[in-house]
Amino acid sequence: MSALVDALVLGWHGVTGRPGRAVLSALGIALGIATLVLVTGIPASGQADLERRLDDLGTNLLVAQPTGTGSGQPPSTLDPAAAASVRRIGPVEEATAVANLNVRVLRDDLADPNTTAGITALAAGPDLLGPLDARVADGVFLTDATEHLGAVVLGASAAEWLGVTSVDLQQPRRIKVGPAWLTVVGVLAPTPLTPELDQSVVVGWGTARAELGSDGRPTVVYVRAVESQVEAVRAVLPATLDPATPGLLGVSRPSDVLTAKRATQGTFSGLFLGLAAVALAVGGVGVANTMIVSVLERRREIGLRRALGATRRDVRRQFLVEAVLLSLLGGAAGTLVGLAGSLGWAVSRGWPAVVSLQAVAAGVVGAVVVGALAGLYPAVRASRLAPTEALAV
Amino acid sequence: MTTVSPPVLRLEAVRRVHPGGVVALRGVSLEVAAGDDLAIVGPSGSGKSTLLHLMGTLDRPTSGIVHLGGHDTAGLRDAELSRLRARQLGFVFQHSHLAERLDAVANVATGLLYAGVPRRRRRARALEALDRVGLAHRAGHLPGQLSGGERQRVGIARALVNEPALVLADEPTGALDQATGRQVLDLFREVHAQGTTIALITHDPGVAAVFSRRVEIRDGVLTEVATGVAGARA
């Protein structure tokens, strides 16, 4: 214990003996550690944000659609009773079907079709909102009463592209869907789990059949299942929806897509982690440099200590502790800066502010390890110095 | 020899050849008994620094035997030799080698750092040692606030603080003016009178004259000059 205190006191005196030099060489470590804490802290906040969003959105939505034969033919359609048959699967809570009508959507006759080329026209029933957890931002959704009356509801992005983001039922706007002029009755709020709905306009099945040539066969089925049974439901969906060729029916889980997207960002931060490691290594070289110069300058002190009875080990330990302290000083500063930075980043993006204990631990441990590695060679050099040579200076 | 107690330090036929072939010591034999006050006089280049380093176990002989405190130092590893230095020897150098950022008492306490004395007891013993060299009132001063003579006295206190069997001094007055050097020599006499064994190296016969036993070194060979009472003060 006493020896440890002695070593720390000696090390501290060594570090503070040349404060300017100590600050500069600790700065390198601080930069490396700050980067390290940033690149581990920011993804931690992002992860927390993703988990929070997934909690909101739910991870139990499945999307089933024919994948096509792959030979250039358009994907086939599903049975008109697809949604109903899916609902008969035990753990399914809700299911609804939509059909891609493959028609053009225009703001009016004179509009440039290219500006709205990304919009899809869908046929859907009044029960669409439930499974998709969608919400009407303005106006109303389709009802059993309006679903055949030429009403249309706009997805959030589609509404922006069409320039119709609000609904005034006294002076209804009309848009051209395929050959038909339809009345906008509602605009949907964004649906993060199903971005394709954001880019769609939705008409009732009745309207679709009467005016847009739909045969009533859906192209996509949305399913909400009991959370714990999602994978089981996923497994039986192909056979339920397409008993003849179940292999041609694809089922996806949109929450997986979000997670995968985050994972991609994760690999991106792997690159930054590498950069942080490089910065830390450069900082370590700086500390090693400082220590080597320090050993050269303090040969007399080393000689004196040897004369006073310091063993080689004592001298080695003194310089090693000094290097670790120097590095730790930089590490502490870097950890603080890194934490402040990642918290600031999280707050600015509306993410939950997560103090990653892992990041802090990585910062401190990283600094100690780098300091020890950087101090090793100078310390050994100091300890190998012959006392007579050291005193001769 | 004026005493019958076993020698503190014994050199037997010690040779030291420096790398490059320079022969610094050619078969030196020397015994220092407890209670001795010994001056080793020699011009520069005579091998006296090498002799002091060998006496202080800071260097090892090419051949011959160095006995310190009953140990043949040839068989000791670095850690054991260092412990021997920490407990048996005190060094005083030409320049006091004080740590500039530590006050006088902390500098003296450094002499106990490697002797296995617990932290809490070091300060009291360092104050005692400072008192012995007459600097108790300067305990809290930094080296920069002390005169050359005072600094050297702090260095002497650091050598005395672990109550060594032998104090080795290397030109301790070499960097001081006449009057101050004289005061430092008086201090050595006083310390010797209190029972400390001293071996001092100097090029100055006037300094050596203060010591009761004198040996001369020339070209690596030692000659006993005087044994007995200290000579007249020069």
The per-residue pLDDT for A71 is 54
Distance from CA of A30 to the nearest CA of B (A): 27
The per-residue pLDDT for A267 is 59
Residues of B with CB under 8 A from a CB of A: 53, 56, 58-59, 78-79, 82-87, 89, 91, 93, 97, 99, 101-102, 110-111, 113-115, 118-119, 158
For B119, the closest of A2, A304, A387 (CB atoms) is A2
Q: Which of A1, A9, A308 to mutate to test the interface with B (most CBs of B within 10 A)?
A: A308
Distance from CA of B121 to the nearest CA of A (A): 12
The per-residue pLDDT for A332 is 92
User: Residue B61 carries which side chain, given as an amino acid letter?
Assistant: P
Beta strands at B63-68 and B7-17: parallel, antiparallel or unpaired: antiparallel
Higher local confidence (pLDDT), A41 or A293? A293
Interface touch A2/B86, C-beta < 8 Å = no
The per-residue pLDDT for B232 is 42
The residue among A158, A189, A185, A166 whose CA lies nearest residue A174 is A185
Task: Please state, in angstroms and rounded to a whole number, the distance separating the CA atoms of residues A66 and A44.
Answer: 37
Residue B234 in this model has a pLDDT that exceeds 60: no
Contacts of A13 in chain B (CB under 8 A): 99, 101-102
**Quick one: average pLDDT of A69-84?**
67
Contacts of B93 in chain A (CB under 8 A): 304, 391
**Quick one: average pLDDT of A152-165?**
83
Interface touch A308/B114, C-beta < 8 Å = yes
- Percentage of chain B with pLDDT > 70? 95
Distance from CA of B41 to the nearest CA of A (A): 19
The per-residue pLDDT for A245 is 73
The per-residue pLDDT for A196 is 84
Of the given ranges (A337-351, B37-51, B122-136, B219-233), which has the lowest mean pLDDT?
B219-233
Whether A139 and A169 have beta carbons less than 8 Å apart is answered as: yes
Higher local confidence (pLDDT), A294 or B232? A294
Give the best-scoring range by mean pLDDT among A82-96, A339-353, B161-175: B161-175
The pair phi, psi for residue A95, each rounded to 5°, is -150, 145
Residue A224 in this model has a pLDDT that exceeds 80: yes
The residue among B94, B90, B207 whose CA lies nearest residue B148 is B94
The per-residue pLDDT for A288 is 92
For B59, the closest of A17, A301, A388 (CB atoms) is A388
Contacts of B96 in chain A (CB under 8 A): none
Residue B77 in this model has a pLDDT that exceeds 80: yes
The per-residue pLDDT for A266 is 59
Distance from CA of A325 to the nearest CA of B (A): 19
Torsion from C-alpha of A75, A81, A86, A87, nearest 10 degrees = 150
Mean pLDDT, all residues of chain B: 89
Interface touch B58/A311, C-beta < 8 Å = no
The residue among B53, B109, B113, B122 whose CA lies nearest residue B83 is B113
Residue B193 in this model has a pLDDT that exceeds 80: yes
* 273-312 in chain A: CB under 8 A from chain B: 300-301, 304-312
Task: Give the residue on A whose Cα is nearest the Cα of B112.
Answer: A308
**Quick one: average pLDDT of A274-296?**
89
Interface touch A306/B101, C-beta < 8 Å = no
Task: Give the residue on A whose Cα is nearest the Cα of B86.
Answer: A309
Task: Please state, in angstroms and rounded to a whole number, the distance separating the CA atoms of residues B91 and B196.
Answer: 13
**Quick one: average pLDDT of A339-348?**
88
For B119, the closest of A6, A307, A313 (CB atoms) is A6
Interface touch A312/B58, C-beta < 8 Å = no
Mean pLDDT, all residues of chain A: 82
In angstroms, the Cα distances linking B163 to A137, B33, B35, B223 are 90, 16, 13, 29
Interface touch B118/A314, C-beta < 8 Å = no
Distance from CA of A386 to the nearest CA of B (A): 8
DSSP letter for A95, please: E
Of the given ranges (A246-260, B2-16, B161-175, B188-202), which has the lowest mean pLDDT?
A246-260
Of the given ranges (A88-97, B55-64, B183-192), which has the lowest mean pLDDT?
A88-97
- Percentage of chain A with pLDDT > 90? 16
* 330-389 in chain A: CB under 8 A from chain B: 386-388
What does the DSSP assignment read for B101-155?
TS-HHHHHHHHHHTTT--HHHHHHHHHHHHHHTT-GGGTT--GGGS-HHHHHHHH
Q: In the block, which residue shows the tokens 């700065």?
A: A27
* 194-253 in chain A: CB under 8 A from chain B: none
The pair phi, psi for residue A287, each rounded to 5°, is -65, -45
**Quick one: average pLDDT of B77-85?**
92
Contacts of B51 in chain A (CB under 8 A): none
Q: What confidence tier does B59 reach under pLDDT thresholds 50, 70, 90?
A: very high
The per-residue pLDDT for A274 is 84
For B110, the closest of A2, A300, A308 (CB atoms) is A308
Higher local confidence (pLDDT), A277 or B12? B12
Contacts of B158 in chain A (CB under 8 A): 308
The per-residue pLDDT for B156 is 95
Interface touch A301/B99, C-beta < 8 Å = yes
Contacts of B98 in chain A (CB under 8 A): none
**Quick one: average pLDDT of A55-84?**
71
The per-residue pLDDT for B231 is 47
Interface touch A314/B114, C-beta < 8 Å = yes
- Whether the CB of A313 is below 8 Å from some CB of chain B: the reply is yes
pTM to 2 decimal places: 0.72
Q: What confidence tier does A108 reach under pLDDT thresholds 50, 70, 90?
A: confident
Interface touch B119/A314, C-beta < 8 Å = no
Largest CA distance in chain A: 106
The per-residue pLDDT for B140 is 94
The domain limits of chain B are 9-227
The per-residue pLDDT for B185 is 93
The per-residue pLDDT for B49 is 87
The per-residue pLDDT for A345 is 87
Distance from CA of A23 to the nearest CA of B (A): 18
Distance from CA of A26 to the nearest CA of B (A): 21
For A310, the closest of B84, B101, B114 (CB atoms) is B114
Distance from CA of A307 to the nearest CA of B (A): 7
Residue B192 in this model has a pLDDT that exceeds 90: yes
Q: In the block, which residue shows the tokens 């790398």?
A: B19
Contacts of A388 in chain B (CB under 8 A): 53, 58-59
Contacts of B99 in chain A (CB under 8 A): 13, 301
The per-residue pLDDT for B4 is 55
Task: Please state, in angstroms and rounded to a whole number, the distance separating the CA atoms of residues B182 and B179.
Answer: 5
Interface touch A391/B83, C-beta < 8 Å = no
The per-residue pLDDT for A305 is 94
The per-residue pLDDT for A251 is 79
Task: Please state, in angstroms and rounded to a whole number, the distance separating the CA atoms of residues A54 and A25.
Answer: 44
CATH architecture of B9-227: 3-Layer(aba) Sandwich (3.40)
Residue B100 in this model has a pLDDT that exceeds 50: yes
